Amino acid sequence: MGNNKYKILIVEDEVNIRSFVEAILETNRYQVITAETCEEGIIMFSSHNPDLVILDLGLPDKDGLEFIKEIRAGFITPIIVLSARMAERDKVVALDMGANDYISKPFGTEELMARVRATLRNSRYNVAAGISPAGKFKANGLSIDYDRREITVDGKKVSLTQTEYNIVAFLSEHSGKVMTYASIIRAIWGTEDRGSIKKLQVNMANIRKKFGSKPGSNHYILNELGVGYRMIDGE
């Protein structure tokens, strides 16, 4: 039985592990879809647009790294690798290619669920409230498709990190309003620390650069000095 909030795709060829993980997730009221190969996983991903992928690397048709590469070419959907490969190099490669987390087999039920919750918590700006924006946002050439988590500027796709996307989504959901540094930090990272504002500023600089804004110009996100940021009003 699903909770109608999160849909998780399991890409795993070992039937015992796949069934075990599926049972754990369904017990915790997640919606679950499964695939046994890399190619089937890509098809299921395209068809169902899951909120999270749990991926084995040792798939029968292709290495799971190919799945990560394919998905990261167009999506920021979080991916947790679940693999028997325990070498540090394997973990580093998977994470560098875009995996959000890496769990070595064998694994415990509590660890798996903790990693799933943490990854989902970090993947959407207000997941703690069980809410995320839906539909589309448009303003002066900026377009955000919340359902596909895609952003375009003047028709050109913009590739953002997961954190950068979450910041933009949060500000656009509150477009026209000044959101304080503290409110943005709480929404994106959950807690504040001494380096939080600097971390936010670095991400914002990267966002503006990717949006094509020149230093000192604010086409879409305005900086209210000493207070916070404001997304321009949507159309």
Sheet containing 178-180: which strands, arranged edge to edge? 178-180, 228-231, 221-224
The upper half-sphere exposure of residue 50, i.e. CA atoms within 13 Å in the direction of its Cβ, equals 26
Q: What is the pLDDT of residue 148?
A: 79
Percent of the chain with pLDDT over 90: 32
Q: What is the pLDDT of residue 134?
A: 62
pLDDT, tens only, 181-204: 888 887 777 666 667 888 888 989
Query: Range with the lowest mean pLDDT among 5-14, 38-47, 71-80?
Result: 71-80
Nearest CA to 49 out of 62, 33, 61, 63 is that of: 33
Architecture of domain 136-231: Orthogonal Bundle (1.10)
pLDDT, tens only, 92-106: 888 888 888 898 888
For the domain 7-123, what is the CATH superfamily, name and number?
A: Response regulator (3.40.50.2300)
Percent of the chain with pLDDT over 70: 87
The residues of the chain that CATH labels 1.10.10.10 are 136-231
Collapsing DSSP to helix, strand or coil, 29 comes out as coil
pLDDT for 36 beyond 50: yes
**CA pair distance 199, 197, nearest whole angstrom:** 5
Region 132-158 average pLDDT:
84
pLDDT for 124 beyond 60: no
Q: What is the pLDDT of residue 129?
A: 41
Nearest CA to 169 out of 149, 186, 199, 191 is that of: 149
C-beta of residue 146 within 8 angstroms of C-beta of residue 134: yes
End-to-end CA distance of the chain: 39
pLDDT, tens only, 11-30: 999 999 999 999 999 999 89
Residue 140 DSSP label: T
Residue 215 preceded by cis peptide, ω within 30: no
How do the residues of the chain divide into helix, strand and coil, expressed in percent and rounded to 5? Answer: 40, 20, 35
User: 3-7, 114-118, 192-196: which has the highest mean pLDDT?
Assistant: 114-118
**CA pair distance 159, 151, nearest whole angstrom:** 8
Q: What is the pLDDT of residue 215?
A: 56
The residue behind tokens 């670095």 is 202
The residues of the chain that CATH labels 3.40.50.2300 are 7-123
Query: Range with the lowest mean pLDDT among 35-39, 81-85, 185-189?
Result: 185-189
Residue 214 DSSP label: P
pLDDT for 4 beyond 70: no
Region 51-73 average pLDDT:
91
Give kind and range of the element (H or E) at residue 200. Answer: helix 196-211
